[in-house]
Structure 1
Amino acid sequence: MITTIAKRLVTVVPTLIGVVIVTFLLTRVLPGDPAVYFAGPAATPDSIAEVRKSLGLDRPLPEQFGRYISDLAHGNLGNSLSTGQPVVAEIRSRLPASAELTLFGLILSLVIAVPLGILAAIKQGSWIDHTCRVVATAGVSLPVFFTGLLLVYVFYFRLGWSPAPIGRLDAFASAPPTITGFYVIDSLVTGDFETFRAAFGQLLLPGATLAIFSLAPIARMTRASMLAVLASDFVRTARASGLANSTVILTYAFRNAMLPVITTLGMVFSFLLGANVLVEKVFAWPGIGSYAVEALIASDFAPVQGFVLAMAILYVALNLVIDILYGLIDPRVRLEG
């Protein structure tokens, strides 16, 4: 297993190098001139040139790239021109909010999609199977921002069951002491149940939006994988041996059906990190997605580059976790590695 992980880490290096190069070049060819933006609408050509010089944008592209790589080697992602703060500090402060939202949505979708997919495979053609198909179709058909706006309209505006979509906490609650950065967990650890209720209430609608978005692929893959395994010879042998139906389904069938589900889970998590950008804007969630969008609008290069690099590292870490899970579930993967 250690050898397999080491091989995966070696293959990661070219990927990260490519991400750094492509991100740097893309931010330079995007429409908009940060010097013009920060000089102001009444700026003269001389003042714009002065701002461009102070930002280092008047230097040749290879020299700018060399400075960028040098800063990366020292753990410096630059400073945001919009806020004046180091990008590393901004990402560090906003990443827990995005991670909490993404993980909550993923866990909520798993709790619903996996049992639904198993039941749909066991009772093929029943109303549960049809429900699974309807949920899967609706999940992939509705844009994530539309789902978020619809939930806000129904549960906040019409029914009044949900708090206002104004971020991680309402105006009357204060943030708990930072332990993990996840408000729900930190408030539970410190015993602040009032803050926990406020944080969980704010998290429910955006988390449900992401869960609806990710329900479809997980439920469909669980159903398809379970159908293939239930038709296998070893499952028929287990049934013929007189084993309990629950033992056959959970111990034998589901364990062998987990590998495709885990693969889908990794892809879904990657999609959720991208969908976070829209969900955070709809619910005023202070995560790195909304931070990157605001920086992109302002032609602020450093936060955009830091955001893309952080997402690339998360994707790499996610793929490594999936490889480890493969080895734990199926010993043949360890032997092949």
Structure 2
Amino acid sequence: MIVLRRLAEAVPSLVGVVIVTFLLSHALPGDPAAYFAGPAANAESVAEVRRTLGLDRSLPVQFGYYLLDLAKGDLGHSLTTGQPVTSDLLQRLPASMELTLAALIVAIAVALPLGIVAALRPNSLADHFCRLTVTIGAAFPTFFVGLLLVYLLYFKLGLVPQPLGRLDEIYFTPPPTVTGFYLIDTLLNGDVDAFRAALSQLILPAVSLALFAMAPLARMTRAAMLTALGSDFVRTARANGLPARKVIFTYALRSAMLSIVNVMGMVFSFLLGSNVLIEQVFGWPGIGAYAVSAVIASDYAAVQGFVLMMAILYVLLNLAVDLAATAIDPRVRFES
């Protein structure tokens, strides 16, 4: 029931996204007809291309045709690739999702223990180290961190491979597509060398994203754990002589996880948006790089398809967070 209600509540937001995206994409500077016709085209050629693409129609008429195509599940054709936008996005989405999930896993693996230790020893050296780490991590934009890591670890030290995307296709062949995630597909294909190569290419962009994501996760973990550790049920558990490990991880951490999961959802949304910059830095063939190319070319269909897909992903992400929250604390189901 909660799934249907959340999906119904998301419909007005998606309608608004469709309208606003259509208007904003048509307000982009540049002329897609001139881009498609080429630099040597004259005014007559550009006008002919504009008629062929339907750009000579009024904006309401173009919007009407767009809605009709959207109702049939057709996002149009990209001017830059010549392929259906739907197939372009579905082909590139696994690359962005793999990068985003890897960054989130790295951020959780570091931020969660850091926040727990800081909460257990407030105002200690560990607590100050946690604050300093998250402050430094959030102080620099992701693209700057990515460029800095490339300069230090690849150019200066040679510890990582050249940032050429998901896999160096000169030496390795992309695995047969099963999930679209190279780390999984290479293992399913039994190609350990390709798995190692894909993992080595993933490390830098994932760490670049994770450094910024660690700040809100560590801060929320620390704050939520401090609140849980000071609650009555934790004091009662300690007074009953329960082991410290059980008090911390069974009682305090479970109580704090509701707030932490909500922040994870927001962090995941941020990471999806930040992919646009990281994918450009590392040549990652995801939907972020696809969107940048579409904006430069004033490719209306590609821009609209990208924004609509991101909106749908955000709706599904919020739904997943709600379901996780009800699993952690069943009372949320009744309070919502």
With normalisation by structure 1, the TM-score equals 0.98
Instruction: Give the secondary-structure state (helix, strand or coil) at the position aligned to 1:271.
Output: helix
Distance across 2 between alignment mates of 1:36 and 1:186: 41
Distance across 1 between alignment mates of 2:234 and 2:51: 70
Instruction: Give the secondary-structure state (helix, strand or coil) at the position aligned to 1:176.
Output: coil
**Shift of the alpha carbon at 1:39?**
2.3
- Identity, in percent, stands at 61
User: Mind listing any 5+ residue stretches in structure 1 that lack a counterpart?
Assistant: none
Q: Hey, what does 1:187 align to over in structure 2?
A: 186
Distance across 1 between alignment mates of 2:146 and 2:213: 13
Q: Hey, what does 1:163 align to over in structure 2?
A: 161
Q: Hey, what does 2:225 align to over in structure 1?
A: 226
Q: Hey, what does 1:36 align to over in structure 2?
A: 34
Distance across 1 between alignment mates of 2:277 and 2:307: 16
Q: Deviations over 1:235-294 (max 9, x none)?
A: 111100100001111111011111111111111111101110000000000001001101
Q: Hey, what does 1:78 align to over in structure 2?
A: 76
* 1:7 aligned onto 2:5: yes
Alignment of 1:136-175 (within 5 A): 136-170=134-168, 171-175=170-174
**Shift of the alpha carbon at 1:16?**
0.7
Name segments (4+ residues, structure 1) moved above 3 Å.
Answer: none
Q: Hey, what does 2:292 align to over in structure 1?
A: 293
Q: Hey, what does 2:88 align to over in structure 1?
A: 90
Instruction: Give the secondary-structure state (helix, strand or coil) at the position aligned to 2:180.
Output: coil
Q: Deviations over 1:189-208 (max 9, x none)?
A: 22210100000000011011
**Shift of the alpha carbon at 1:45?**
2.1
Q: Hey, what does 1:305 align to over in structure 2?
A: 304
**Shift of the alpha carbon at 1:68?**
0.6
Say whether the 8 Å CA contact 2:138–2:212 is kept in structure 1. yes
Residue type at the aligned position of 1:66: G
Residue type at the aligned position of 1:69: L
**Shift of the alpha carbon at 1:41?**
2.9
Distance across 2 between alignment mates of 1:295 and 1:57: 16
Distance across 2 between alignment mates of 1:333 and 1:72: 35
Residue type at the aligned position of 1:257: A
Residue type at the aligned position of 2:231: S
Q: Hey, what does 2:109 align to over in structure 1?
A: 111
- Let me know the Cα RMSD of the aligned residues: 1.0
Distance across 2 between alignment mates of 1:36 and 1:191: 48
Instruction: Give the secondary-structure state (helix, strand or coil) at the position aligned to 1:152.
Output: helix
User: Mind listing any 5+ residue stretches in structure 2 that lack a counterpart?
Assistant: none
Q: Deviations over 1:140-178 (max 9, x none)?
A: 111100000011011101110100001001121111111
- 196-205 vs 133-142, greater mean Cα deviation: 133-142
**Shift of the alpha carbon at 1:231?**
1.0
Distance across 2 between alignment mates of 1:284 and 1:47: 34
Residue type at the aligned position of 1:96: P
Distance across 1 between alignment mates of 2:294 and 2:7: 31
Q: Hey, what does 1:281 align to over in structure 2?
A: 280
Q: Hey, what does 2:321 align to over in structure 1?
A: 322
Distance across 2 between alignment mates of 1:189 and 1:83: 30
Distance across 2 between alignment mates of 1:213 and 1:172: 32
**Shift of the alpha carbon at 1:126?**
1.9
Which of the residues 16, 24, 30 maps onto 2:22? 24
Distance across 2 between alignment mates of 1:6 and 1:85: 33
Residue type at the aligned position of 1:85: Q
Residue type at the aligned position of 2:252: A
Distance across 2 between alignment mates of 1:90 and 1:41: 25
* 1:55 aligned onto 2:48: no
Aligned residues: 335
Residue type at the aligned position of 2:57: R
Residue type at the aligned position of 2:312: I
Q: Hey, what does 1:101 align to over in structure 2?
A: 99
**Shift of the alpha carbon at 1:330?**
0.6
Q: Hey, what does 1:260 align to over in structure 2?
A: 259
**Shift of the alpha carbon at 1:50?**
1.1
Distance across 2 between alignment mates of 1:134 and 1:336: 37
Distance across 2 between alignment mates of 1:39 and 1:5: 47
**Shift of the alpha carbon at 1:116?**
0.7
**Shift of the alpha carbon at 1:44?**
2.3
**Shift of the alpha carbon at 1:49?**
1.4
Q: Hey, what does 1:133 align to over in structure 2?
A: 131
